Amino acid sequence: MEIYELLKGKNIKNEQEVKVVARVRSNRPGKAVGFLVINDGTSLLDLQVVYKSNLDNFNDISQVRVSSIIEVIGKILLTPDKEQKLEIQAEDIVILDEASQDYPLQKKEHSLEFLREISHLRSRTKTFQSIFKIRSVAAYAIHRFFQEENYVYVTTPIITENDAEGAGESFIVTTLKNDEYEKDFFGKKACLTVSGQLNGEAYAQAFKKIYTFGPTFRAENSNTSKHAAEFWMIEPEIAFEDLNFNIALIEKMIKFIINEVFNKCSDELEFCDKNLEKGLINKLKHISNSNFERITYTDAIEVLKKAVDNGQNFEEKNIFFGLDLGTEHERFLCEKHFEKPTFITNYPKEIKAFYMKQNSDGKTVAATDLLVPGIGELVGGSQREDNYEKLVARCEELKIDVKGLSWYNELRNFGYYKSSGFGLGFERLIMYITGASNIRDVIPFPRTPRNLLF
């Protein structure tokens, strides 16, 4: 029986006979009676096993080491008044495999930095069991959200020749030891994708509503707690719909994901609240119950100017139309001014990507960022430019290779009426939901500059 079934099952009875295979988390032997805490990975919660000297192999059990695998046969003792609702009175314990005494995760506390060096083992700790279970449940919630709304999941290519944002630093994919790409596998220079959006847009023209969910890459030499060379993105795209639809969709999706995590990961959230971010659960409940705010970029600039006038101490105090908002400005807006998640809309075109729809004011584009308390920007989206000439002109202004993007731009000539979408960085979402403060701790095997292990 799995420990998950034991602890969550509804028909578990006192004195019921059970058999469990699990890993030893701790062993507290005594003269006549000992206590094993075991976990089989199916539940964050452990199971306590009481073993007594009547067992033939009592002495062996008393010495069994942390991380060994054992099989326990015994009777359930319901203990509704204790923190653990039941324990097992062992009748037979078989040591299936004894762990080496070099096992690095002995009972003492370990730093997150140390645990990163043993990424192949850290998922056995409660911290990472919580984070990676939540990651899994959130990933499924995203698929469920879109599939139940009849979106088509499109796997966009990882190896690509185009650079969606025109700014990303791409990894080169090659089979050679030099740069004679015309002799290379693909006969040309190939890169790892920085975004699936452009390919996704082509599919939205076919299916109306699509989403991508896959890995993306940046060869950015940034050793910060927020940057990784490899991370996952969700990029939905909806044809025939505008920025307002997009904004409503983002809000609905974020709430859906958080509610799914609440429903399926209450133990894990409690653990994260206690150990990673105090107040996490209240923060998430607040998000889930808020009506997200909306403000234009132009109005947000006015709010920030007033705040500076009123003595708000930003590092960047020079607030003007055209400023690329910093995290401090974003957090001020959603944390202090509105005290809830906030959509900023209609950014100056100069600070946004080439494919965003130019508004009739000639200055702004139909873009939105969702800012959330505690983190700042969580989602970025836009309505796409639908006018072929404007799009090509903008590419040329920004010195983007029009030829490589001709297939993308020409979508506008073959029947095109509005298209909107957004990008959600999956790891940023998981950091937000778990309270983890370093992106390296929400990716099973993180890749950062000069760090490629496992």
The torsion angles phi and psi of 441, rounded to 5 degrees, stand at -95, 0
Which CB sits closer to a second copy, 49 or 307? 49
Q: Please give the Cα distance from 418 to 56 (Å, whole number).
A: 75
Which are the contacts of 347, defined by CB distance < 8 A and separation ≥ 6?
A: 297, 364, 365, 367, 369
Instruction: Say how many CA atoms lie within 13 Å of 325 toward its Cβ.
Output: 28
Task: Let me know the angle formed at the C-alpha of 237 by 232 and 241, rounded to the nearest 5 degrees.
Answer: 150
Query: Taking the mean position of all CA atoms in its chain, how far away is CA 340?
Result: 20
Asked whether the CA dihedral 244, 245, 250, 251 is positive or negative, the reply is positive
Quick note: the x/- pattern for a second copy over 420-449, rule CB under 8 A, is -----------------------xxx-x-x
> Is residue 159 within the footprint of a second copy (CB under 8 A)?
yes
* Total residues interacting with a second copy, rule: CB under 8 A: 101
One-letter identity of residue 119: S
Which CB sits closer to a second copy, 152 or 303? 152
Which CB sits closer to a second copy, 253 or 319? 253
Contact in structure between 66 and 105 (CB atoms under 8 Å): yes
Of residues 32-61, which lie at the interface with a second copy (CB under 8 A)?
Answer: 40-42
Which of the stretches 154-162, 280-288, 325-333, 366-374 binds a second copy when contact is defined by CB under 8 A?
154-162
Return the closest-CA partner of residue 385 out of 373, 397, 375.
397
Out of 11, 111, 150, 289, which residue is the one contacting a second copy (CB under 8 A)? 150
> Is residue 260 within the footprint of a second copy (CB under 8 A)?
no
One-letter identity of residue 135: R
Out of 292, 416, 422, 432, which residue is the one contacting a second copy (CB under 8 A)? 416
> Is residue 97 within the footprint of a second copy (CB under 8 A)?
yes
Which of the stretches 100-108, 321-329, 352-360, 431-439 binds a second copy when contact is defined by CB under 8 A?
100-108
> Is residue 244 within the footprint of a second copy (CB under 8 A)?
no
> Is residue 79 within the footprint of a second copy (CB under 8 A)?
no
Which of the stretches 84-92, 96-104, 316-324, 376-384 binds a second copy when contact is defined by CB under 8 A?
96-104
One-letter identity of residue 381: G
Which CB sits closer to a second copy, 70 or 287? 70
Which are the contacts of 196, defined by CB distance < 8 A and separation ≥ 6?
A: 154, 156, 157, 164, 212, 214, 216, 233, 235
Which CB sits closer to a second copy, 258 or 443? 443
Q: Please give the Cα distance from 90 to 36 (Å, whole number).
A: 10
Quick note: the x/- pattern for a second copy over 6-35, rule CB under 8 A, is ---------------x-xx-----------
Q: Please give the Cα distance from 197 to 419 (Å, whole number).
A: 12
> Is residue 229 within the footprint of a second copy (CB under 8 A)?
yes
> Is residue 140 within the footprint of a second copy (CB under 8 A)?
yes
Taking the complex as a whole, the smallest distance from the CB of residue 40 to a second copy amounts, in Å, to 5
Which of the stretches 159-167, 243-251, 273-281, 353-361 binds a second copy when contact is defined by CB under 8 A?
159-167
The pairing of strands 419-425 and 230-239 is antiparallel
Which of the stretches 246-254, 284-292, 315-323, 405-413 binds a second copy when contact is defined by CB under 8 A?
405-413
Q: Please give the Cα distance from 403 to 86 (Å, whole number).
A: 67
Of residues 378-397, which lie at the interface with a second copy (CB under 8 A)?
Answer: 386
Return the closest-CA partner of residue 353 out of 251, 235, 203.
235
Contact in structure between 120 and 102 (CB atoms under 8 Å): no
Out of 27, 48, 129, 346, which residue is the one contacting a second copy (CB under 8 A)? 129
Of residues 290-319, which lie at the interface with a second copy (CB under 8 A)?
Answer: none
Lookup: tokens for 406: 């001709």
Taking the complex as a whole, the smallest distance from the CB of residue 213 to a second copy amounts, in Å, to 9
> Is residue 130 within the footprint of a second copy (CB under 8 A)?
no
Contact in structure between 214 and 235 (CB atoms under 8 Å): no
Quick note: the x/- pattern for a second copy over 188-227, rule CB under 8 A, is x-x-x------x--xxxxxxxx----xx-x-x-x------
